[in-house]
């Protein structure tokens, strides 16, 4: 299964916030949209960084409630690992496991075209496994 197939299934919407937004605003976006991370845009740069719920928790642990008034830019991860539509879901899962993050934006020709979460990849793998088991059962029943 390729990243492209996951996007065709889940859609290509990417929720993003400006680097000038506050952590409180970003937290509201995460809660309202039921997501764990937002892509951060700055000026013309569509993927200037990524901010996940973990970054917000880390900031609050360090600076208490005052952190909520900090900018997203101050706490986001700037070196974002991205993937392409032709990458395999297995490879992305391996990268997420090794690097210990759960979100990977999909970029094609410099354009942000989607985002894949570990939940999307696991859901796809389970669906594939069920399909394989069904095919095997049908094959054995026919034999």
In the complex, minimum distance from the CB of residue 143 to ligand AMP, in angstroms, rounded to a whole number: 45
Cβ neighbours for 56, distance < 8 A, ≥ 6 positions apart: 23, 26, 27, 30, 67, 75
Distance of closest approach, residue 3 Cβ to ligand AMP, in angstroms:
13
Question: Whose CA is closest to 92, among 118, 67, 68?
Answer: 118
Q: How far is the CB of 118 from ligand AMP (least distance, A)?
A: 8
Residues 27/56, Cβ–Cβ less than 8 Å: yes
Binding site for ligand AMP (CB under 6 A): 36-37, 50-55, 77, 80-81, 101-104
Residue closest to ligand AMP, measured at CB: 52
Using the minimum distance from each CB to ligand AMP, give the nearer residue, 1 or 77.
77
* End-to-end CA, the chain: 28
State which residue, 119 or 137, has the beta carbon closest to ligand AMP: 119
Choice between 27 and 36, CB closer to ligand AMP: 36
Q: Which residue has the tokens 């409630």?
A: 65
């Amino acid at each position: 299964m390729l990243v492209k197939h996951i996007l065709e299934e889940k859609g290509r919407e990417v929720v993003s916030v400006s680097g000038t937004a506050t952590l409180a605003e970003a937290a509201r976006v995460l809660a309202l949209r039921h997501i764990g991370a937002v892509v951060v845009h700055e000026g013309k740069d569509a993927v200037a960084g990524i901010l996940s719920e973990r970054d917000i928790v880390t900031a609050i642990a360090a600076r208490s409630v005052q952190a909520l008034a900090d900018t997203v830019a101050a706490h986001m991860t700037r070196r974002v690992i991205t993937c392409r539509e032709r990458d395999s879901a297995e490879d992305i899962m391996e990268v997420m496991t090794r690097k210990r993050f759960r979100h990977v934006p999909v970029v094609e020709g410099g354009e942000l075209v989607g985002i894949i979460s570990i939940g999307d990849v696991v859901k796809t793998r389970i669906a594939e496994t069920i399909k394989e088991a069904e095919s095997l059962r049908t094959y054995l029943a026919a034999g």
